[in-house]
């Protein structure tokens, strides 16, 4: 095997071991089940040194599982948390509180003499911010998995102090909230809420009805700031700049926009991961060498997994980002061949976005169904109708915020333009919420999801092979 193949297979093996351990599977049983597939695959591909490669990959799977359990034990040993008894404890809010209709949630880092992090469910009436030092009275209970912090449900809470977090993060979050206030003052409530969701991932102002409409229409991901919509955004921006700038300048400008975007939304870990995935999609487009992107994507995923072990199995945002990126990089070229798009000609931006959207959607169907229980057969249509306008909507949103900081009246005409686009996007969401055709859990269970992705890989491989034959 060539070094690139060994690196790719090794990274996959380590992540497979981590995934098995995360799910609570016995690693020896997992390795025994994986062995026939791994050995058979290597033999089928007629790779040299099959036995040596086979044993190395199994060893790397074992290392992945060992690394997970070692990290778990270190985490447990480093914590000092009184479980199951009502007590008084204090901690600093380490993320931005998320408000729902019936509760709000946030994580706190415990103060001495306790150690560790606790997930807090609190009344939606309380007002808490990142960096607040809180005193809590209640019971802390362990969660089912290593992925989740222990929980304190509706304790009594008292604010002790403010501004105990990172000054940089506090400034970034303050800037984010200032932008949201500009949207609220310049636009009708629903349009302002959607613009805040599209540009900054904020869903605090969404009504329960609108959340339900987005869910039924299959457009919730538009405000999730995953690698999916960031990739669509950056590729659309690159397409526009590519009309009048060189390829290299377009790449650098779009990369700068990604960095600026991450800063503006508060540089949260999930957004940083999504931005990295979006950047890789841009890099694949820039180099035009999707095969060479394989190792970059997998090694990036491995690095994120080693740094935060729970993302691989329990972080839906990471899964959607990773799979949608693979769909955009590998499935979209195959779909273009099926639809007979000529890559040598300039494809209209709406067609490009339609293909990217379909590729990303098809790549994440099993994850969405297994997580949310259903998937709308009509979901691709509203996404295609909306995503073509999202980059312009976001641009107008950021322009509106920038101008409004100078003077409120200067943003009037920009707000009106943004309002037209937002009204259209809301109309599409509401229309397809009523036209939704949900399919209930056809991929429930990992075996059916495995079959789905196996067929997709064969489909991609077939068209990639035919493309290589044409070029040869």
Q: Would you list the DSSP string of 2-64?
A: -HHHHHHHHHHHHHHHHHHHHTT--HHHHHHHHHHHHHHHHHHTT-SSHHHHHHHHHHHHHHH
Which residue ranges does the chain devote to CATH 2.40.50? Answer: 86-165
CATH architecture of structural domain 86-165: Beta Barrel (2.40)
The mean pLDDT value for 163-175 works out to 86
**Token pair listed for 36:** 């026939």
Nearest-angstrom CA–CA distance, 332 and 294: 15
pLDDT at 105: 93
pTM attached to this predicted model: 0.74
- The confidence band for 100, taking pLDDT boundaries of 50, 70 and 90, is confident
Judged against a pLDDT cut of 60, whether residue 344 lies above it is answered with no
Task: For residue range 278-290, list pLDDT tens digits in order.
Answer: 777 677 666 665 5
CB 31 within 8 A of CB 61: yes
SS3 of residue 190 by DSSP:
helix
Average pLDDT, stretch 230-235?
Answer: 70
Confidence of residue 454 (pLDDT cuts 50, 70, 90): confident
> Does 459 or 272 have the greater pLDDT score?
459
Whole-angstrom CA distances from 121 to 80, 109, 208, 269, 463 are 20, 14, 19, 21, 49
If one compares 168 and 292, the residue with the highest pLDDT of the two is 168
Residue 362 has pLDDT above 90, yes or no: no
Q: What is the predicted pLDDT for the residue at 451?
A: 84
- pLDDT tens digits, 237-278: 777 777 778 878 888 888 887 787 777 666 666 677 767 777
Helices 380-387 and 412-434: angle between axes, nearest 10 degrees = 170
- What is the pLDDT at residue 327? 85
- CA angle at residue 95 from 161 to 70, to 5 degrees? 115
Rounded CA Rg of the chain:
24
- Quick one: pLDDT at residue 244? 79
């Amino acid at each position: 095997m060539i070094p690139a193949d060994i690196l790719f297979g090794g990274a996959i093996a380590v992540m497979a071991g981590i995934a098995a351990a995360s799910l609570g599977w016995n690693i020896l049983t997992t390795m025994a089940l994986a062995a026939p597939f791994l050995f058979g695959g290597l033999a089928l591909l007629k790779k040299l040194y099959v036995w040596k490669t086979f044993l190395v990959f199994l060893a790397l799977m074992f290392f992945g599982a060992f690394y997970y359990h070692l990290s778990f034990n270190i985490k447990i040993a480093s914590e000092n948390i009184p479980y199951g008894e009502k007590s008084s404890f204090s901690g600093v809010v380490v993320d931005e509180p998320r408000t729902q209709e019936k509760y709000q949630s946030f994580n706190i880092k415990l103060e001495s003499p306790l150690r560790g992090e606790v997930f807090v469910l609190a009344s939606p009436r309380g007002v808490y911010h990142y960096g607040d030092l809180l005193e809590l009275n209640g019971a802390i209970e362990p969660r089912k998995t290593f992925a989740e912090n222990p929980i304190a449900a509706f304790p009594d809470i008292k604010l002790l102090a403010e501004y105990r977090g990172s000054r940089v993060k506090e400034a970034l979050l303050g800037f984010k909230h200032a932008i949201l206030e500009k949207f609220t003052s310049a636009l009708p409530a629903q349009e302002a809420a959607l613009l805040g969701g599209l540009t900054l991932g904020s869903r605090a102002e969404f009504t329960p009805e609108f959340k339900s409409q987005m869910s039924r229409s299959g457009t919730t991901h538009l405000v999730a700031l995953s690698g999916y919509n960031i990739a669509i955004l950056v590729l659309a921006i690159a397409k526009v700049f590519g009309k009048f700038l060189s390829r290299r300048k377009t790449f650098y400008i779009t990369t700068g926009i990604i960095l600026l975007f991450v800063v503006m939304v508060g540089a949260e870990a999930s957004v940083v991961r999504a931005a990295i995935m979006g950047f890789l999609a841009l890099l694949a487009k820039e180099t035009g060498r999707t095969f060479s992107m394989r190792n970059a994507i997998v090694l990036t995923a491995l690095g994120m997994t080693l740094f935060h072990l729970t993302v691989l199995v329990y972080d839906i945002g990471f899964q959607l980002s990773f799979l949608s990126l693979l769909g955009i990089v590998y499935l979209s070229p195959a779909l273009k061949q099926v639809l007979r798009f000529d890559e040598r000609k300039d494809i209209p931006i709406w067609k490009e976005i339609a293909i990217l959207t379909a590729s990303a959607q098809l790549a994440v169907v099993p994850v969405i169904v297994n997580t949310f229980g259903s998937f709308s057969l009509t979901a691709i249509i509203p996404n295609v109708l909306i995503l073509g306008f999202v980059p312009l909507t976001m641009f107008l949103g950021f322009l509106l915020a920038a101008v409004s900081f100078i003077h409120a009246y200067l943003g009037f005409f920009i707000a009106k333009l943004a309002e037209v686009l937002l009204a259209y996007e809301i109309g599409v969401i509401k229309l397809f919420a009523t036209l939704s055709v949900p399919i209930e859990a056809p991929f429930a269970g990992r075996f059916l999801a495995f079959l789905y992705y196996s067929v997709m890989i064969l489909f991609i491989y077939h068209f990639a092979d035919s493309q290589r034959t044409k070029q040869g």
